[in-house]
Amino acid sequence: MHRTEDMDELMTCRLDHHRRQVEVATVVIFGASGDLTSRKLIPALYQLYAGGQLPEDFRVIGFARRDKTDESWRAELREALDRYSRTGPVDEVLFTGFAERIHYCRGDLAETDGYTKLAGMIAAMPTPELRENRLFYLATSPSQFGIIAEQLHEANLLERGPAAGWHRLVVEKPFGRDLSSASALNQELIRHAHEQQIFRIDHYLGKETVQNILMFRFSNSIFERLWNRDAVDHVQITVSEKLGVGRRGGYYEESGALRDMVQNHLLQVLALIAMEPPVALDAEPIRDEKVKLLSAVRRLLPEQVAKQVVRGQYRAGVVAGQAIPDYRAEEKVATGSDTETFVALKLFIDNWRWAGVPFYLRTGKALAESASEVRVQFKPTPNVLFAAQCGPRLDANSLTLRLQPDEGITLHFNGKIPGVGIGLRPVRMHFSYDSEFGAYTPEAYERLLLDALSGDPTLFIRRDEVEQAWEIVDSVRAGWEGQGMADDAFYPAGSWGPECADQLLARAGHAWREPQIQR
In the complex, the residues that contact ligand BG6 under the rule CB under 6 A are 173, 241, 260
Helix H or strand E encompassing 295: helix 283-296
CB 241 → ligand BG6: shortest distance, Å?
Answer: 5
Q: How far is the CB of 414 from ligand BG6 (least distance, A)?
A: 32
317-319/408-416 β-pairing? unpaired
Buried b (16+ CB within 10 A) or exposed e, 184-210: ebbeebeebbeeebbbbbbbbbbbbbb
User: How far apart are CB 302 and ligand BG6 at their closest, in Å?
Assistant: 27
Strand, coil or helix: what is 402?
strand
- Measured from the CB atom, the residue of 167 and 362 that comes closer to ligand BG6 is 362
CA distance 465 to 286: 11
Strand-strand pairing, 424-432 and 408-416: antiparallel
- The nearer residue to ligand BG6, 365 or 412, going by C-beta atoms, is 365
Nearer Cβ to ligand BG6, position 359 or 445?
445
Q: Is 265 a catalytic residue?
A: yes
Name the active-site residue from 167, 234, 265, 412. 265
- Start-end of H helices in 337-423: 385-390
Minimum distance between the CB of residue 187 and ligand BG6, rounded to whole angstroms?
24
Strand pairing of 59-64 and 26-30? parallel
Q: Which residues pair with 239 in a beta bridge?
A: 363, 372
Element (H, E) at 416: strand 408-416
Q: How far is the CB of 328 from ligand BG6 (least distance, A)?
A: 18
Q: In this complex, which beta carbon is closest to ligand BG6, that of residue 241 or of residue 288?
A: 241
Q: Which CB atom, from 152 or from 269, has the smaller least distance to ligand BG6?
A: 269
Residue closer to ligand BG6, measured from CB, 103 or 173:
173
Phi/psi class of residue 236: alpha, beta or left (left: φ > 0; alpha: ψ in -120 to 50)? beta
> Sheet containing 408-416: which strands, arranged edge to edge?
424-432, 408-416, 398-404, 371-378, 232-240, 359-364, 342-347, 309-315, 490-492
- Cβ-proximal residues to 105 (8 Å cutoff; 6+ apart), any chain: 28, 61, 62, 63, 114, 117, 118, 121
CB of 427 to ligand BG6, least distance (A): 29
Using CB positions, name the residue nearest to ligand BG6. Answer: 260
Bridge partners, 27 (sequence order)? 60, 135
- Given a contact cutoff of 8 angstroms between Cβ atoms, the answer to whether 299 and 471 are in contact is yes
Residues acting as catalytic residues: 265
